Amino acid sequence: MRVGVPKEIKVQEHRVGLTPMAVREYVANGHEVLVQTGAGLGIGADDAAYVTAGARIASTADEVFAGTEMIVKVKEPQPAEWKMLRRGQILFTYLHLAPDPEQAHGLLESGCTAVAYETVTDERGGLPLLAPMSEVAGRLAIEAAAFSLRKPAGGKGLLLGGVPGVTPARVVVIGGGVVGTHAARMAAGLGAEVTILDRSIPRLRQLDELFQGRARTRFSSVANVEDEVLQADVVIGAVLIPGASAPKVVSRAMLSRMKPRSVLVDVAIDQGGCFETSRPTTHDAPTYEVDNIIHYCVANMPGAVPATSSHALNHATLPFGLALAAKGEKAMVDDAHLRNGLNIHRGRITCAPVAKALNMPAVSAESALGM
Ligand SMILES: NC(=O)C1=CN([C@@H]2O[C@H](COP(=O)(O)OP(=O)(O)OC[C@H]3O[C@@H](n4cnc5c(N)ncnc54)[C@H](O)[C@@H]3O)[C@@H](O)[C@H]2O)C=CC1
Ligand SMILES: CC(=O)C(=O)O
Ligand SMILES: [Mg+2]
């Protein structure tokens, strides 16, 4: 198959869909790879590195989209990219369609076959193509919070871990999945006082084992969330219902009762955000304030550390991308986990939670693929 890698165009997005390592694997499997010039510069991979790996270099995104059967990206396509996609062309990338009706319409009109990294599943019930970026974002969330607590950054002037004789900051993590676990590990490692809330009892049991007392666990009821949030210096929003819009777990009414200049980091913003007052921000202007509470809501946090995150992402996407390149849409007929990634197929939505969030009709991926 001819596979295309355009340069990412979202604000401050420096990751790349295929690293030279991955290009070499595609080429070794008999595929042709067309990479837009400069696509890898954010990770220190110049055009020569891609040529060495076996790619051809295209001078424009137009050339990449027009000359290939599958596009491998990182972030959801931007409006200029919807227009370059065509019927039957496979798009393999993050989509986060539930809070994004404009993108959904753009992709439906293009007729493309859009496979979303974030809804591909594995046999253990996990999300293997979301997990590596959730690991990155969970860790970054604590860096972002620590920075936002500092006085020169406009914060309340608190050191996350405190020092001997002075109490540390209270960090509350809502959602104890991949993002939540990595955020809690970073916060606990820095010496903060950490509480993790989740609605899954089995998950709370695992977290209790994992943290061995270095983080408290608590069931995520409305009352418990409120109790924790009102005492917090930092709240990390890390809930997910796969494919769906994030549930709102912190209301605007709670903000005025929180400790002044506390920090909310809404990692779940890519699914619409789990705080009522969240709206997406960019790395250029990552924070804003509501009711004296600092909000950090960057929707592509791992884009800030592309030299780590591009490699972690490629390690996870590679086997699925190779299957799509080898078999086209049949790869999804053969693999139910990859099929769960199918969000849009030739003008129809094929992911039920996405359709529900957008209030649009859906068909099953099985019927769309003629199974
Ligand atoms: N902003 C960014 O740059 C990035 C955002 N993300 C997003 O972070 C979010 C979390 O991702 P993961 O940790 O990988 O998901 P996950 O599926 O591993 O964990 C989500 C957890 O939320 C829990 N949960 C669901 N409803 C809850 C509620 N009402 N209260 C408490 N817990 C609840 C689930 O039981 C689960 O343990 C997703 O929206 C993901 O897309 C991930 C990577 C980067
Ligand atoms: C998962 C996601 O939204 C990101 O890595 O940017
Ligand atoms: Mg979006």
pLDDT digits (tens, 9 = 90+) for 103-147: 999 999 999 999 999 999 999 999 999 999 999 999 999 999 999
Distance CA 270, CA 298 (A): 8
The pLDDT, as a whole number, for residue 243 is 86
| 169-222: pLDDT as tens digits | 999 999 999 999 999 999 999 999 999 999 999 999 999 999 999 999 999 999
- DSSP type of residue 76: P
CB 132 within 8 A of CB 313: yes
CB 196 within 8 A of CB 184: yes
Res. 343 pLDDT band, cuts 50 70 90: very high
CB 259 within 8 A of CB 229: no
Is 267 marked as binding a ligand?
yes
Q: What's the whole-number average pLDDT of the chain? A: 97
Q: Convert 134-158 to b/e letters by CB count within 10 Å (16 or more is b).
A: bbbbbbbbbbbbbebbeeeeebbeb
Question: Residue written as tokens 């309340």?
Answer: 156
CA 358 to chain centroid, in Å, comes to: 19
Structure tokens at 309: 């995150």
What are the chain's domains?
2-120+305-368 (3.40.50.720), 131-303 (3.40.50.720)
Given the residues 14, 31, 96, 295, the one annotated as active site = 96
Q: Residues 287-312: what's their mean pLDDT? A: 97
Which ligand 1 atom is the nearest neighbour of the CA of 300? 3
The sheet carrying 113-116 orders its strands as 56-58, 32-36, 2-5, 70-72, 90-93, 113-116, 342-345, 348-349
CB 328 within 8 A of CB 334: no
Answer yes or no: 295 catalytic.
no
From residue 3, alpha-carbon distances to 69, 255, 312, 319, 326 in Å are: 6, 47, 20, 14, 11
| Nearest protein Cα to ligand 1, atom 42 | 134
Neighbours of 201 (CB within 10 A): 10
Which residues sit opposite 287 in a β-bridge?
A: 296
The pLDDT, as a whole number, for residue 360 is 97
Answer yes or no: 233 catalytic.
no
Q: Which ligand is nearest to the CA of 271?
A: 1
Q: Are strands 113-116 and 342-345 parallel, antiparallel or unpaired?
A: antiparallel
Neighbours of 250 (CB within 10 A): 25
Q: Which DSSP string corresponds to 144-208?
A: HHHHHTSGGGTS----TT-BTTB---EEEEE--SHHHHHHHHHHHHTT-EEEEEES-HHHHHHHH
Question: Residue written as tokens 């608190």?
Answer: 158
CB 194 within 8 A of CB 215: yes
Q: Which residues have any ligand 2 atom within 6 Å of their CB?
A: 75, 94, 130, 133, 270, 300, 302
CB-based neighbours (< 5 A) of ligand 3, an ion: 76, 96, 100
| 251-284: pLDDT as tens digits | 999 999 999 999 999 999 999 999 999 999 999 9
| 212-244: pLDDT as tens digits | 999 999 999 999 999 999 999 999 999 999 889
CB 83 within 8 A of CB 111: no
The pLDDT, as a whole number, for residue 82 is 95
Backbone angles phi, psi at 344, to 5 degrees: -140, 130
Q: Which of 240, 271, 305 to mutate to test the pocket of ligand 1 (most atoms within 8 A of CB)?
A: 240
